[in-house]
Amino acid sequence: MFDARLRPLIDPPLNAAGRWLAERGISANVITLAGLVPALVAAIAIAHEAYGVGLVAIAVNRLADGLDGAVARAQGMTDLGGYLDILADFAFYVAVPVGFGLANSANAVPAMLLVASFTLTGISFLAFATIAGKRGEETQAHGAKSFFYSTGLAEGTETIAVFIAMCLWPQNFAVIALGYVVLCLLTVIQRSMIAARNFR
């Protein structure tokens, strides 16, 4: 929902950093894969109720996610890079709820529902992108990407905000998670309605 609006603010410093890294021979794919380490650290830390460490690891992972795209734009985007980027994103989206589910047995069901809603959101996102790409559709709303990015209520910005809230108020994980499950499901419905309108 807010991703496209934030792009004009975050892209200039990210692109500058991306050019600096690209000039030193650091590839986007290396940054993407390196970003999986803080994703795993976040999950492990949260599972051990070290929520501050988890929060820092989440921030590092998201920084890596922003930098890999910036480096790719400087070096030239590749299909492999696009594949690795979305794979790493969803590994991160799954890791954090799993960490909370392991931290407290009371979190298990909300964590599973959150992972399930991320799965549905991801499927709708990738299916939409596949069909839009086949039809030759393009969008720059989320900046230059390897494939079509459809807008939804629950996007990266909202997910980061929710994960931060969970780390700051872990005792309210279930309420926050279930609220975001609803937003994810609304995103799937929204995207499906757009598909029904555009893909006839």
**Domain at 182, CATH number:** 1.20.120.1760
- State the residue range of the domain holding 141: 3-198
Query: Taking 70 as the threshold, does the pLDDT of residue 188 lie above it?
Result: yes
CA atoms within 13 A on the CB side of 25: 0
pLDDT of 15 reads 86
* Rounded Cα gap, residues 140 and 9, in angstroms: 15
The stretch 80-84 carries a mean pLDDT of 93
User: With bands split at pLDDT 50, 70 and 90, how would you rate the model's confidence at 13?
Assistant: confident
Query: In Å, how far from its chain's centre is CA 16?
Result: 22
pLDDT of 44 reads 98
The greatest distance separating any two alpha carbons of the chain, rounded to the nearest whole angstrom, comes to: 49
* Rounded Cα gap, residues 28 and 169, in angstroms: 34
Closest C-alpha among 159, 158, 173, 162 to residue 49: 173
What angle is formed at CA 90 by the lines to CA 87 and CA 92, rounded to 5 degrees?
A: 110
User: With bands split at pLDDT 50, 70 and 90, how would you rate the model's confidence at 87?
Assistant: very high
Task: Give the tens place of pLDDT for each residue, 153-181.
Answer: 778 889 999 999 999 999 999 999 999 99
pLDDT of 172 reads 97
Please give the C-alpha separations between residue 14 and each of 7, 18, 117, 142, in angstroms, as whole numbers: 10, 6, 30, 14
HEC string of 132-168? HHHCCCCCCCCCCCCCCCCCCCCCHHHHHHHHHHHHH
The pTM for the full model equals 0.85
What angle is formed at CA 63 by the lines to CA 57 and CA 66, rounded to 5 degrees?
A: 145
Cβ distance 85 to 98 under 8 Å?
Answer: no
- Please give the tally of structural domains in the chain: 1
Task: Give the tens place of pLDDT for each residue, 90-142.
Answer: 999 999 999 999 999 999 999 999 999 999 999 999 998 889 888 888 766 54
pLDDT of 156 reads 81
pLDDT of 157 reads 87
Residues in the chain: 200
Task: Please count the other Cβ atoms lying within 10 Å of the Cβ belonging to residue 107.
Answer: 22
